Amino acid sequence: MDAGIPGTAHRRGLMLMAAAAGASLAMPGPLMAAARCGGGDLSDVKAAIDKQRPEAIKRLQDWIALPSIAAEGLNAQEGAQYMAELLKDAGFQQTTIIQTDGRPGVFATMDNGSPRSVGMYLMYDVKQFDPSEWSSPPLEARIVDRPGLGKVMIGRGAVNQKGPEASFLAGLHGLRAAGRKPPVNIVLIAEGEEEIASPHFPQLVRRPEVLSALGKCREVWMPFASQTPKGSVEVDLGAKGVIEVELVCSTKAWGRGAENDIHSSYKAELDSAVWRLVKALSTLVSEDGNDPAIDDWFENVQPLTARQKELIAEQAANTSEAERKKFLGVQTWVRDLPYRQALERLASQPTVNIEGMYAGYTGPGGKTILPSKAVAKLDLRLVPNQTADEAERKLKAHLARRGYGDISVTRTGGYDPTQTDETSPVIQSALEVYRKGGLEVGMSPRLAGSWPGYIFTGPPVNLPAAHFGFGHGAHQHAPDEYYVIEAENPKLRGMAGASLGYVEFLYALAARS
């Protein structure tokens, strides 16, 4: 998922024991129900999972060996097929590959005869990678010692999201091996375009058979490695939206200057596409580059609520700014803000980011050309009540109003923001299982990263959506992505512990009928 460095980075140590305790105390009924009906003694399942550990690791390694990369058009059909097989093996009675206008998804259901159904969201695609930047081959998923953490698996997708997802599947295998049925029915939808911002995911979810199945669920959740290296965990109550767009400024579309690259000496009499893009981009943000300056951008932006501010104040009070800065390699917050205000910005501010840019000659030394084309790749993070469609429309209108209508704006994907109420069963179940596991639990009003939760929290599905999972990994979207298989710290769960956690979570959900 496109969610920052979950479990390690911006979440590191964001513990909110007081707030979490407060939330649980507000729901004594369900908690007591969970204690009564939460699966009871799961030592048989734990034993089965431990026994199946080698197969579970091998299953994850084999999956990592088949990278599906939507941005590169790599292994879309193969990835969906593999996903469907994994689900079948784990006990889903029905798995259907659904084609879209992009890459296919997988719709799967497991009927366990339970009165309670839960929705799940998985992804089978991974981010691009350059093997030369890795210390271990990204598709070999080798297990290496990482002092301080334990044994970790290094591979593309290790933590984002194949590791947590494979751990969940290992939990289902464990239940079966222990002679149990999962305590809930499962409606699962998997996509292969999450890393390009899920452009066709709505097509999958809004299929009548999928909508109908989700209609029986009370939530949708995604397996996720939520723990910091120290073992603590943070529950996010929402996530920013995002649009990714590519801006292309070309002399051909502009109708000015030379149609193709030309010797730079002609600059004196010819317009430049690169200068045009630089000038156009420059209008999109404030002088320091930190606030969107797109016309009407803040029209629907909601300020933080008092409760959200309270959660953030507690985060700031209960965590170490110095430690977080060190972990992230951060020198300063924008405008040298105090920590609490930096955290508030992280949760509340829409952003306009240039994730990449290129024009003309980019090799060693110089080359005296006047380029005919310049490209910028932007991601724009959105907060409630902005929408992805609104953002695209306003960006285009802003450019057109300034005479930059010829600069093409191609949206490669986008999510609306998503928000889930902290009193919902999925959040309360997560808090309960984490706490039973002895973890310090925090709560964050909103993840600064993005995931397509809006597909579930928005119409027509309108369900709470959240992440859940023990375990830890890091370096998502970066070299040496890893997932902890065996943890040194007893508070941090490795793969088998995470698998058990998913089983505990299913029982907790079942208890909140």
Interacting positions 238-257 with its own copies (CB under 8 A): 240, 242, 244, 246, 251, 255-257
For residue 212, the tally of other CB atoms under 10 A from its CB is 10
Pick the stretch among 136-144, 312-320, 342-350, 434-442 that binds its own copies (CB under 8 A).
342-350
Pick the stretch among 209-217, 306-314, 325-333, 461-469 that binds its own copies (CB under 8 A).
325-333
Pick the stretch among 37-45, 57-65, 222-230, 360-368 that binds its own copies (CB under 8 A).
360-368
Q: Nearest approach, Cβ of 158 to its own copies (angstroms)?
A: 16
Considering only residues 61 to 80 of the shown chain, the ones binding its own copies according to CB under 8 A are 70-72
User: Which one among 412, 435, 488, 489 touches its own copies, defined by CB under 8 A?
Assistant: 412
Residue 303 as a binder of its own copies (CB under 8 A): the answer is no
Considering only residues 462 to 501 of the shown chain, the ones binding its own copies according to CB under 8 A are 476-478
What separation in angstroms does the CA of 479 have from each of 20, 27, 470?
A: 34, 42, 23
Considering only residues 115 to 144 of the shown chain, the ones binding its own copies according to CB under 8 A are 127-128
User: Which one among 91, 202, 289, 405 touches its own copies, defined by CB under 8 A?
Assistant: 289
Q: Nearest approach, Cβ of 246 to its own copies (angstroms)?
A: 7
- Characterize 468-487 residue by residue with b for buried, 16 or more Cβ atoms within 10 angstroms of its Cβ, and e for exposed: bbbbbbbbbbebbbbbbbbb
User: Which one among 41, 287, 438, 490 touches its own copies, defined by CB under 8 A?
Assistant: 287
For residue 246, the tally of other CB atoms under 10 A from its CB is 15
139 versus 285: smaller Cβ distance to its own copies: 285
Alpha carbon distance 149, 132 (integer Å): 24
Residue 29 as a binder of its own copies (CB under 8 A): the answer is no
Residue pair 511/36 in contact by the 8 Å Cβ criterion:
yes
Q: Nearest approach, Cβ of 287 to its own copies (angstroms)?
A: 6
Residue pair 187/216 in contact by the 8 Å Cβ criterion:
yes
Residue 346 as a binder of its own copies (CB under 8 A): the answer is yes
User: Which one among 133, 145, 259, 323 touches its own copies, defined by CB under 8 A?
Assistant: 259
246 versus 310: smaller Cβ distance to its own copies: 246
Give the distance from CA 377 to its chain's centroid.
Answer: 19
41 versus 130: smaller Cβ distance to its own copies: 130
Cα 369–371–372 angle (5° rounding)? 140
Residue 158 as a binder of its own copies (CB under 8 A): the answer is no
Contacts of 32 (CB under 8 A, 6+ apart): none
Residue pair 168/59 in contact by the 8 Å Cβ criterion:
no
Q: Nearest approach, Cβ of 238 to its own copies (angstroms)?
A: 13
Alpha carbon distance 335, 201 (integer Å): 37
Considering only residues 196 to 225 of the shown chain, the ones binding its own copies according to CB under 8 A are 196-197
What separation in angstroms does the CA of 18 have from each of 25, 101, 304, 421, 472?
A: 11, 47, 20, 18, 23
Contacts of 327 (CB under 8 A, 6+ apart): 8, 9, 12
Q: Nearest approach, Cβ of 85 to its own copies (angstroms)?
A: 26
Contacts of 316 (CB under 8 A, 6+ apart): 339, 340, 343
Structure tokens at 498: 């995470």
Residue 381 as a binder of its own copies (CB under 8 A): the answer is yes
Residue 298 as a binder of its own copies (CB under 8 A): the answer is no
Residue 294 as a binder of its own copies (CB under 8 A): the answer is no
User: Which one among 301, 357, 488, 489 touches its own copies, defined by CB under 8 A?
Assistant: 357
Q: Nearest approach, Cβ of 224 to its own copies (angstroms)?
A: 15
Give the distance from CA 461 to its chain's centroid.
Answer: 20
What separation in angstroms does the CA of 249 have from each of 354, 372, 392?
A: 15, 8, 17
271 versus 392: smaller Cβ distance to its own copies: 271
Residue pair 484/474 in contact by the 8 Å Cβ criterion:
no
User: Which one among 278, 293, 304, 397 touches its own copies, defined by CB under 8 A?
Assistant: 278
Residue pair 24/235 in contact by the 8 Å Cβ criterion:
no
Residue 103 as a binder of its own copies (CB under 8 A): the answer is no
Query: Shortest CA distance to 224 belongs to which of 138, 120, 89?
Result: 120
Parallel/antiparallel/unpaired status of strands 473-474 and 142-146? unpaired
User: Which one among 131, 137, 356, 460 touches its own copies, defined by CB under 8 A?
Assistant: 356
Q: Nearest approach, Cβ of 363 to its own copies (angstroms)?
A: 6
Residue 338 as a binder of its own copies (CB under 8 A): the answer is no
Pick the stretch among 1-9, 18-26, 86-94, 99-107 that binds its own copies (CB under 8 A).
1-9
